[in-house]
Structure 1
Amino acid sequence: MLSSKESLTQRKKLPVSTRQGPPKALEKDWPKDNDEVEEKEEEENYVLHDPERGLDSLPQPYRMINKLVELLFDQSWELIEERAALRQADSTRIRPTVYTPVSEIQLSQRPSCMAMSQDYVFFGGAKGFSIYNLYNAERLYAWEKLRVDVTSIGVTDLGSEILIAPVDEMGIIRLFYLYKDALFLIKAINEVDDASKQPTCVKMEISQGGDFAAFLLQGAGDTWLDVYKLPREAWLKEAEHLPLTLNPKKKVRPLSTMDPITPDSADMDVNFSFKSDVKLSPPVHIMKIKPPKPITGTTFKSPLEAFAKVEDCLGLGSGQNHLIRDSQWEQRADLFHASYKKHLDRELGEEPLSSATFYFLLPSCVTSMPAEAKSSSGVAYVLGIHWTGSHNFFLYSLNRTLKDRAEPEGVWPCAAPIAASRLSCSSSYLVLACEDGVLTLWDVAEGFPLGVIALPEGCFCQSIHFLKYFVVHKGQNLYPEGPVKSQVKCVVLCTNTSLHLVTASSTQGPTSQVLVTRPVKLLDETICAVAPVPTLPGMVLTFARNGSMSLMDVAKAEVVCAFALPRAPRLAVTWKPLFAVSLHHPCFLLQGDCPGKEEPTSDTEDTRNSVFCFNFEAYPLLKNISKNRTISQEGSTENLALPLEKRCELLLQKSFQKLKTSLVTKDQEWIRLRRYSTLLQKENFRK
């Protein structure tokens, strides 16, 4: 006999199936009372009426997976309903008339930039640029002598002369002079022998008369502005004494057909010649401007010592000559860092180099010039510039030499940093837009501000575009004949893609009108570029992110018509279209990649590098607008654009005309009354 302890140990070693003892009762063999039996019968006979209740009883993780699938389905269904509603609204929306281009210019390579003058079109591309005739799309000359591509090109039309300034991928800017049928290379402005020390040209600007040029350069962690005086009269004399061979005039084909003009089909006779052996007079460097120094502590002990550093009190307002100590700056910096420590502790990237926006201003009451420096009218005298993050707009006199110190003669301080600015084509009006959404409008010609206006809340200026002043006469936009003074109309594109019309005059403060609001649902219709059309009064071109183009009447805030490329071509970059609007002719050019066939079969199919021309005079809706563009000052309904004496004279003439018409009507009414009275007398006598 085994002991109880040994028996227990031996039982543990045996498998479950061989263990001795009575088997344990299972759960299904347990005795059940009547309630449990009834409950089991109810469960067997239960019919599930709500399927969702059955899913709730699923074990994890199937219950969570089911909820995620349901959430995904609901979101997909909401998106489908939203797209269906958008398609329904889009189908019921009234669409404007769509016009296609009237002509096509086929290029041998894709252009990277383009510019227009009065008679020519300039395309920048691989290793140089080419010149085309605007009227017949014939290539006149191709200058391709660079090792890299041209990224941007600037053109200044001076009548019989044209200044061309292409910038290549290395940031080198060259100045060309086009006179009659000869092309001259004047100078490579910023080219150096050592490539490691090569500065890059970021911006350039040429004055209205072609007498001055300014180039913004960056290099070696520094930024500066080089200003040159252009010897235009010397260039004209040097070019006239050369034996230029003028090509005979060829038959011009109007831009009214859609037949593509290819380099093979067009007449490839070179009409222009490059004069590489002729050296024209180089530009004269007159000034080098650097960004303003950061404001630091002063060593001045009295206001008189600070004022002694300011010559002729012309630099007041720049913030340089002050009486703030270093300790005060340090205390202010400590307070600022303590208040915004959690935001300043984040890692910040490298601070970008400072940039600048600059303009050439004509002599006026604001930019007065000394008597000994009087020059011919239309010649720039002052350079206006503002740097990124700066509150000040600086004015520099151009009547100086390189030996003179580049100190500003005037400073216009603003309440907030200047974010954007724009000078009108006539150099008469200037708009300064601050980062807080406030616009300041200046009448530079007359020398007084037209007013200050704030954009709606949440709208900040992205770009400003001046419109040639127009009036609305009998429901039609027209340009008044003669000069218009102190009347401004400009279009402002905001950072939230909304479009506003700002109007100001000397007799009335500036007003703002919303032309296009930011789309909430159709985000692909947001405006990415705006261009005024000088030949059509009150019209602007708008380009959307989806590649659509439309012509808008800002007076009515409605779309007149739309434009589209033929045979379903595509833009290279829809949100950054490459286009050029003519200042002298009712047309604009647009670059587009058109497939080789009408229906391409694959994405790798060859495409044509085409530039399309849209001529407004060829479209029925715009034909009358392009022909009837001006109205006499007497017939204008808005005589505020006229001088005071002229307005008084017109008012007196209108009053005399009203008096004459009133006298005529009174005489007619008196005659009618006399006739009626005689008839009454005759009837009384009969009775």
Structure 2
Amino acid sequence: MSTPLASRAQRLRLPLLTQKGLEVPPPTEKDWSKDEERHYVFKDPDQQRHSLPQPYRMINKLVDLVFDRSWEIIEERDRLREAKLSQIQPTVYPPVSQSKLGSVPNCMAISQDYVFIGGAKGFSIYNLYNTKRMCVWDKLKVGVTSIWTADLGNDILIAPVDEMGIIRLFYIYKDSLFFVKTVNDVDDTNKPTPCVKMEISQGGDFAAFLLQGAGDTWLDVYRLPKESWLKEVEHPQVTTNPKKKVRQPQLNTLEPTSPDNSEMDLSIGLKGEVKLSPPIPIVKIKPPKPITGTTFKSPLEVFAKIEGCFGLGSGQNHFIKDSQWEQQAATFHAKYQKFLDGGSEEELVSMATFHFLLPSCVIMMPAELKGPSGIPCVLGVHWTGHHNFFFYSLNRTQRDKVEPESVWPCAAPIALSQLSDCGSYLVLACEDGVLTLWDLAKGSLLGVVALPEGCFCQSIHFLKHFLVHGGRNVYPEGPVESQVTCVVLCTDGSLHLVASSGAQEPATHTLIDRPAKHPDEAVCAVAPVPPLPGMVLVFSKNGSVHLLDVARPQMVCAFAPLRPFHLEAPWRPVFVVSAHHPYFLLRGDRPNQTEATHEAKDIPKSVFYFHFTAYPLLEDIIRNSSVPQADQPDTVALPQALPLEERCESFLRKRSQKLEHQAKEQEHWTRLRRYSLLLQRENLKK
């Protein structure tokens, strides 16, 4: 029995099944309903949630965004974990010893067999080998932010700078500490002159201090009377006046509550009030003055007043009128006005970088002013935002007129400069990323190197010239000339190797690329390791310390402090590498406060000692770090020296040609002056 609904369905299907010859026409666009087309929308099933009302639609989008980002981070971590597992991890070496300190060390320095550590109340002196504290100076209870040392042979010069920028000079001789002088101490505390940078020449003959005060900046250069100090400490003349209170800093007695009293061995002490000769000021150098217009009215007057042609073209001796400067400034502002709008016109603080240079072919000093060999004779200076590198003679007195003996102009402002330890090579880095390498001993240009686009120099580190012989890095025996190798750290965290050999064009290689996705892996500091040929310590922001072989390049090993100390990120490492011993020291940071707050307070501050010879891999490198000159490869063999007669003849010939050229220049200049004077007289007659 059929239902009414079933019978109705049968009636609808019957015409289609029973009627023959009836054809259903295919649908066309003309038959589409316009109303249905207007309201019909193809909907994505995944986008159905967009029809949710507010604020649920916004909450749903935020949840999806957090989920997508979390999933990307998880995938990136898995990828890095797999990459690390597939790579060969370098061996991590622990420190060989540890010095526990009562306060956080701010700075460290190594000279001879002593370690100097500056802290919150003064500085301490430790033994490099047994880590025992030998002396402490905390009389004035001032924090030491930086400390400089100079090896004077049998004695040591110490120059700590406190948190107020005050410099004090100390002298160590035969286990005795002597106070020399406070360099920039002023009577009026409202007018301080803090020191922002300092430099001591190799050998301790000169010292330079960059001081600031009352909105001004200047450079004070002193001659250090180390010969007088030696006589005064060998034959001391102790002067005591009970009525006069002496303000001379002294050593304090160590308190029994000191955290490292168990390892205390006081072998250095202040023995009496011995007065030493103060440093002798020789020159005060101020930043270059802004370029202004000349008062000369005509070129004839210029040629008549100038005595010589030396210095022209350096940017210092120019003869341009004020109207010309004004026209040039107006043209510049009119052309680049859209780029200048909104820019800050704040004047940069004048900062200087300076180096003590040895006698060389760069500056020919008079014979009567030449001193013993190995003593600097010139101070090289460049200022922030300036194109010129100035040379000032050190053989002068404070009454002499402060004028540079020579000027090197550069195409762009000099951003950084670095002098090699031997004093023979100089690198000038400009703000446009161009490096200029100079051989000061020969007075010749080694080459010009352009860093990759977007890389700007942050620091330069010279490496002692090494060779790759038998699959290992070695130092060649004998003298090496015109061989420069340096590592350049850029502001983007990349590391580059620059090498120049003789007349060959300098080559640049990228050691570590800029980290694109993980900024915490960027390199923040680099330090050469002289006992290991071609090796540098690389400090990253994430707290890792690696030893890098620049010849391959590859990571040789890693170093890490003892637990619970670690190196937090972002990290500002405090370390020091010995130039003559296979040691480097590293400050250990406290654990995170979130991990163990009560335990972190009880953990003392520490400095960790890493001894390269204590690790088998590095001990083998140090043992085989040199190769005889007979075994050196022919491709890097040193140029054979000419006989003495030929060398003397070549030197005299070059010197004669130079003198003839200078005489011709002076003759032309004298003739030009006479002609200008003659023309001036004729103009006056008219």
Give yes or no for contact 1:118–1:583 (8 Å, CA) kept in 2. no
Give yes or no for contact 1:354–1:387 (8 Å, CA) kept in 2. yes
**Equivalent residue number for residue 108 of structure 2:** 114
Shift of 1:297: 1.3
Distance of 1:437 and 1:274 partners within structure 2 = 49
Letter in 2 for 1:612: F
Distance of 2:578 and 2:633 partners within structure 1 = 29
Whether 1:348 and 2:354 are equivalent positions in the alignment is no
Give yes or no for contact 2:110–2:578 (8 Å, CA) kept in 1. yes
Distance of 1:448 and 1:329 partners within structure 2 = 35
TM-score where L is the length of structure 2: 0.80
Give yes or no for contact 1:545–1:574 (8 Å, CA) kept in 2. yes
Aligned residue runs from structure 1 range 179-198, under 5 A: 179-198=173-192
Q: Residue 520 of structure 1 aligns to a residue in which SS? A: coil
**Equivalent residue number for residue 141 of structure 1:** 135
Shift of 1:228: 0.7
**Equivalent residue number for residue 443 of structure 2:** 447
**Equivalent residue number for residue 123 of structure 2:** 129
Give yes or no for contact 2:233–2:274 (8 Å, CA) kept in 1. no
Distance of 1:519 and 1:368 partners within structure 2 = 47
Letter in 1 for 2:263: A
Indicate which of 89, 93, 106 corresponds to 1:99.
93
Indicate which of 401, 405, 424 corresponds to 1:405.
401
Give yes or no for contact 1:471–1:638 (8 Å, CA) kept in 2. no
Distance of 2:104 and 2:306 partners within structure 1 = 53
Distance of 2:445 and 2:300 partners within structure 1 = 31
Give yes or no for contact 1:317–1:411 (8 Å, CA) kept in 2. no
Q: Residue 548 of structure 2 aligns to a residue in which SS? A: strand
Whether 1:456 and 2:452 are equivalent positions in the alignment is yes
CA offsets per residue over residues 575-612 of structure 1, 9 Å max, x none? 21000000111110001135699x95756542221110
**Equivalent residue number for residue 158 of structure 1:** 152
**Equivalent residue number for residue 83 of structure 1:** 77
CA offsets per residue over residues 233-265 of structure 1, 9 Å max, x none? 111111122399xxxxxxxxxxxxxxxx96222
**Equivalent residue number for residue 266 of structure 1:** 263
Distance of 2:623 and 2:576 partners within structure 1 = 21
CA offsets per residue over residues 266-295 of structure 1, 9 Å max, x none? 143x21122451111111111000000111
Distance of 1:180 and 1:573 partners within structure 2 = 42
Shift of 1:477: 0.7
Whether 1:199 and 2:196 are equivalent positions in the alignment is no
Shift of 1:340: 3.4
Identity across aligned pairs (percent)?
Answer: 64
Shift of 1:381: 0.3
**Equivalent residue number for residue 590 of structure 1:** 586
Whether 1:416 and 2:418 are equivalent positions in the alignment is no
Distance 1:226 1:311, change over 3 A: farther
Distance of 2:305 and 2:573 partners within structure 1 = 50
Q: Residue 630 of structure 2 aligns to a residue in which SS? A: coil
Distance of 1:311 and 1:626 partners within structure 2 = 58
**Equivalent residue number for residue 23 of structure 1:** none
Q: Residue 296 of structure 1 aligns to a residue in which SS? A: coil
Q: Residue 589 of structure 2 aligns to a residue in which SS? A: strand
**Equivalent residue number for residue 623 of structure 1:** 619
Q: Residue 614 of structure 1 aligns to a residue in which SS? A: strand
Whether 1:174 and 2:171 are equivalent positions in the alignment is no
Distance of 2:414 and 2:60 partners within structure 1 = 55
- Structure 1 spans left out of the alignment, 5+ residues: 1-47, 245-260, 648-687
**Equivalent residue number for residue 361 of structure 1:** 357
Distance of 2:310 and 2:394 partners within structure 1 = 15
CA offsets per residue over residues 342-383 of structure 1, 9 Å max, x none? 443326374332000000000011122111112110010000
Whether 1:492 and 2:488 are equivalent positions in the alignment is yes
Distance of 1:479 and 1:211 partners within structure 2 = 30
Whether 1:504 and 2:500 are equivalent positions in the alignment is yes
Aligned residue runs from structure 1 range 322-401, under 5 A: 322-346=318-342, 348=344, 350-401=346-397
Give yes or no for contact 1:540–1:552 (8 Å, CA) kept in 2. yes
> 294-303 vs 358-367, which deviates more?
294-303
Based on CA coordinates, which of the two structures has the bigger radius of gyration?
Answer: 1
Shift of 1:524: 1.7
CA offsets per residue over residues 81-111 of structure 1, 9 Å max, x none? 2233223323333211111011111122221
CA offsets per residue over residues 409-454 of structure 1, 9 Å max, x none? 1001111111111000010000001111111000001110101111
Shift of 1:394: 0.3
Indicate which of 209, 225, 229 corresponds to 1:235.
229
**Equivalent residue number for residue 543 of structure 2:** 547
Distance of 1:488 and 1:460 partners within structure 2 = 20
**Equivalent residue number for residue 642 of structure 1:** 638
Distance of 1:186 and 1:308 partners within structure 2 = 51
Distance 1:59 1:571, change over 3 A: closer
Shift of 1:55: 2.5
Give yes or no for contact 2:108–2:147 (8 Å, CA) kept in 1. yes
Distance of 2:451 and 2:444 partners within structure 1 = 21
**Equivalent residue number for residue 43 of structure 1:** none
Shift of 1:135: 1.4
**Equivalent residue number for residue 10 of structure 1:** none
Q: Residue 479 of structure 1 aligns to a residue in which SS? A: strand
Give yes or no for contact 2:315–2:409 (8 Å, CA) kept in 1. no
Distance 1:304 1:165, change over 3 A: farther
Distance of 2:522 and 2:632 partners within structure 1 = 36
Distance of 2:95 and 2:304 partners within structure 1 = 64
Q: Residue 422 of structure 1 aligns to a residue in which SS? A: strand
Letter in 2 for 1:530: V
Distance of 1:96 and 1:577 partners within structure 2 = 21
Letter in 1 for 2:537: L
- Structure 2 spans left out of the alignment, 5+ residues: 1-41, 239-257, 644-686
> 231-240 vs 554-563, which deviates more?
231-240
Letter in 2 for 1:227: V
Distance of 1:443 and 1:200 partners within structure 2 = 35
**Equivalent residue number for residue 202 of structure 2:** 208
Q: Residue 265 of structure 1 aligns to a residue in which SS? A: helix
TM-score where L is the length of structure 1: 0.80
How many equivalent pairs are there? 582
Indicate which of 292, 299, 310 corresponds to 2:295.
299
Letter in 1 for 2:618: L
Give yes or no for contact 1:121–1:134 (8 Å, CA) kept in 2. yes
Distance 1:118 1:90, change over 3 A: same
Distance of 1:97 and 1:73 partners within structure 2 = 38
Give yes or no for contact 2:142–2:163 (8 Å, CA) kept in 1. yes
Distance 1:85 1:619, change over 3 A: same
Give yes or no for contact 2:456–2:490 (8 Å, CA) kept in 1. yes
Distance of 1:58 and 1:631 partners within structure 2 = 78
Q: Residue 436 of structure 2 aligns to a residue in which SS? A: strand
Distance 1:289 1:54, change over 3 A: closer
Distance of 1:150 and 1:604 partners within structure 2 = 24
Q: Residue 591 of structure 1 aligns to a residue in which SS? A: strand
Give yes or no for contact 1:587–1:613 (8 Å, CA) kept in 2. yes
Q: Residue 74 of structure 1 aligns to a residue in which SS? A: helix
Letter in 2 for 1:477: N
Aligned-residue CA RMSD (Å): 2.5
Q: Residue 64 of structure 2 aligns to a residue in which SS? A: helix
**Equivalent residue number for residue 15 of structure 1:** none
Distance of 2:259 and 2:304 partners within structure 1 = 68
Distance of 1:64 and 1:129 partners within structure 2 = 59
Shift of 1:331: 1.9
